[in-house]
Amino acid sequence: MSNEAHRRRGLMLLISSPSGAGKTSLSRRLVADHADLALSISATTRQPRPGEENGREYLFVDRAGFDAMVEAGEFLEWANVHEHRYGSPRTPIMAALDKGRDVLFDIDWQGAAQINEHAPDDCVRVFILPPSMADLSRRLHARAQDHEDVIQRRLGRAYDEIAQWGVYDYVIINEDFDRAYAELAHIYHAERLRRARNPWLKTFVQTLLDERL
């Protein structure tokens, strides 16, 4: 059967966690391993960290540019996070979904709630937890890309972010990266197989029923 005949309904994988819990590394690996999964590149008003490239990690825009995008309705969702604005540009997401691809969002709980409210049937929400707050603090320091006051603010916000865990469909504790990744991949694979995401099955089953031996 052709790919066209197997056309799926794309899903939106929304992954949230406090900063430093490993969500970005898990997300990037899942995207690298699955050709059908696109990463939503967010726009942000925060400064690039060393090694980050415009258009790869984020679209780095100034506050006026961001607000113009908000005004023009260019975001599927946006939110204030850590004193900066972050948003998911609508056009590339819709283009990917239209082609039957899935889209992964590495976004905070406010953004995940906004997208889920608009399209609950197409969303799968995954929350990543650190094994302990001490471990989270260690990871934020090990990253060493942010100043101490920024790290302390992120740690403070982690408590608020974690408090949102209860509305997510799945929760992964990232103690061991490979294990957490395997769990994330299992979730994604199972969710892709949901009947409602595979409308082509209806015709396929009919051909089975019509095939008299």
Per the listing, tokens 């100043």 go with: 147
Query: Cα separation of 122 and 124, whole Å?
Result: 7
The residue (of 42 and 174) whose beta carbon lies closer to ligand 5GP is 42
Q: Looking at beta carbons, which residue is closest to ligand 5GP?
A: 111
Which positions lie near ligand 5GP, rule CB under 6 A?
A: 19, 42, 46, 77, 79, 81-82, 86-88, 106-108, 110-111
Query: Cα separation of 121 and 69, whole Å?
Result: 27
The residue (of 38 and 79) whose beta carbon lies closer to ligand 5GP is 79
Instruction: State the minimum distance, in angstroms, from the CB of residue 185 to ligand 5GP.
Output: 20
The residue (of 161 and 197) whose beta carbon lies closer to ligand 5GP is 161
The residue (of 157 and 201) whose beta carbon lies closer to ligand 5GP is 157
Q: Which two tokens stand for residue 90?
A: 């609508």
Instruction: State the minimum distance, in angstroms, from the CB of residue 40 to ligand 5GP.
Output: 7
Provide long-range contacts, Cβ within 8 A and 24+ apart, for 157-164.
157/18, 157/19, 157/81, 157/82, 158/18, 158/19, 158/20, 158/21, 158/133, 159/18, 161/16, 161/17, 161/18, 161/19, 161/108, 161/109, 162/18, 162/129, 164/16, 164/109, 164/127
Instruction: State the minimum distance, in angstroms, from the CB of residue 41 to ligand 5GP.
Output: 9
The residue (of 8 and 43) whose beta carbon lies closer to ligand 5GP is 43
Instruction: State the minimum distance, in angstroms, from the CB of residue 137 to ligand 5GP.
Output: 15
